Amino acid sequence: MDIRDRSGLGKVLDGGFDAVIHFAGRKAVGESVTDPLGYWDTNVAGSLVLLQEMSRTGITTLVFSSSCTVYGNTAEAPFAEDLPTAPINPYGETKLAVEQMLAALAAAQPHWRLASLRYFNPVGAHPSGEIGEDPHGIPDNLMPYITQVAVGRRPQLQVFGNDYDTPDGTGVRDYIHVVDLARGHVAALAYLAEHPGHSIHNLGTGRGYSVLEVIGAFERASGRRIPYAMAPRREGDAAAAWADTRRAQAALGWKAKRDINAMCRDAWNWQRRNPNGFGNEPW
């Protein structure tokens, strides 16, 4: 169902829950620039409906999927949670708006238990190969693009920019395995059981990899060659972003365990077993 459907969501929550993990949102930066109202509607208005329905049903514990995109381009990596926020596109603005809504709610009603988790770059798949990433249309993100090249659905990858001020000139990101990310949510729920209020935690590994390093790691993990071509920079991309992980480690007792090889191996295992994804393409 759609979280903007107040009566439908209300019926679900009437079933009785201890907590909500809120993943429902749109996340394509470029699309948010062309459809800002759609992003504010789903991400912000949708979260508002959810919080109002949680309030009505007496559920006051929430873990929210925020993003490292709220840091914007002004600071240098690593990014710590107390940096000033400076999102540079409507997607990031909607993530920050929800964080602000949560902070204001916790200030007004201190019994709420709210955590904003700022994801870095989630990649990989469940090691079973049963759950993976199946974007509609052309993938916006690096890892699903690579896996679709590897499986023969796309001829080659474009590397967006090789003139950044990074060791090999390509963009550096903090990729985190989705299973570690999931464990981070469990750790956040445990934290909230002890800590009312609103808190913010980075979920990343604290280590950055360049686009070329990811391609190399994927080729080793899959045994497939990934043809690529250098292309101009993508608008709005930062040179380098990775997390300061100290707060998450200290507060949540959580640390990412899976390395880039596991991320590539599991992403490939899923794509190899599901070459056409889940078969849910509407076109």
Count of residues engaged in binding ligand UD1, rule: CB under 6 A: 20
Q: How far is CA 52 from the centre of its chain?
A: 24
Selecting among 39, 71, 91, 145, the annotated active-site residue is 91
Q: Is 69 in the site for ligand UD1 (CB under 6 A)?
A: yes
The secondary element (H helix, E strand) that includes residue 212 is helix 211-222
Question: Which 86-115 residues touch ligand UD1, going by CB under 6 A?
Answer: 92
For 8, 15, 25, 216, the CA distances from 49, given in Å and listed in that order, are 11, 17, 13, 44
For 130, 152, 185, 217, the CA distances from 271, given in Å and listed in that order, are 10, 11, 25, 16
d(CA 92, CA 71): 9
One DSSP character per residue, 213-248 reads HHHHHHHHHHS----EEEEPPPTT--SEE-B--HHI
Q: Is 141 in the site for ligand UD1 (CB under 6 A)?
A: yes
Half-sphere exposure of 63 (CA within 13 A, CB side): 25
Q: Is 27 in the site for ligand UD1 (CB under 6 A)?
A: yes
Of 191, 7, 29, 204, which Cα lies nearest the Cα of 114?
Answer: 191
d(CA 108, CA 98): 15
State how beta strands 157-160 and 228-231 pair: parallel
Q: Is 29 in the site for ligand UD1 (CB under 6 A)?
A: yes
Q: Is 121 in the site for ligand UD1 (CB under 6 A)?
A: yes
Q: Is 184 in the site for ligand UD1 (CB under 6 A)?
A: no
Comparing CB distances to ligand UD1, the nearer of 53 and 174 is 174
Whether 91 sits among the annotated catalytic residues: the reply is yes
Q: Of these, 192, 211, 221, 263, which contacts ligand UD1 (CB under 6 A)?
A: 211
Q: Of these, 42, 66, 67, 271, which contacts ligand UD1 (CB under 6 A)?
A: 67
Comparing CB distances to ligand UD1, the nearer of 92 and 206 is 92
Helix 211-222 and helix 142-150, axial crossing angle in degrees, nearest 10: 40
Q: Of these, 64, 112, 145, 209, which contacts ligand UD1 (CB under 6 A)?
A: 145
Position with the least CB separation from ligand UD1: 171
Comparing CB distances to ligand UD1, the nearer of 112 and 242 is 242
User: Taking contact as CB under 6 A, which single stretch among the options 11-19, 50-58, 75-83, 141-149 is the one that binds ligand UD1?
Assistant: 141-149
Comparing CB distances to ligand UD1, the nearer of 141 and 249 is 141
d(CA 116, CA 124): 22
Active site residues: 91
Q: Which residues bind ligand UD1 (CB under 6 A)?
A: 27, 29, 67, 69, 92, 121, 140-142, 145, 157-160, 171, 173, 211, 234, 237-238
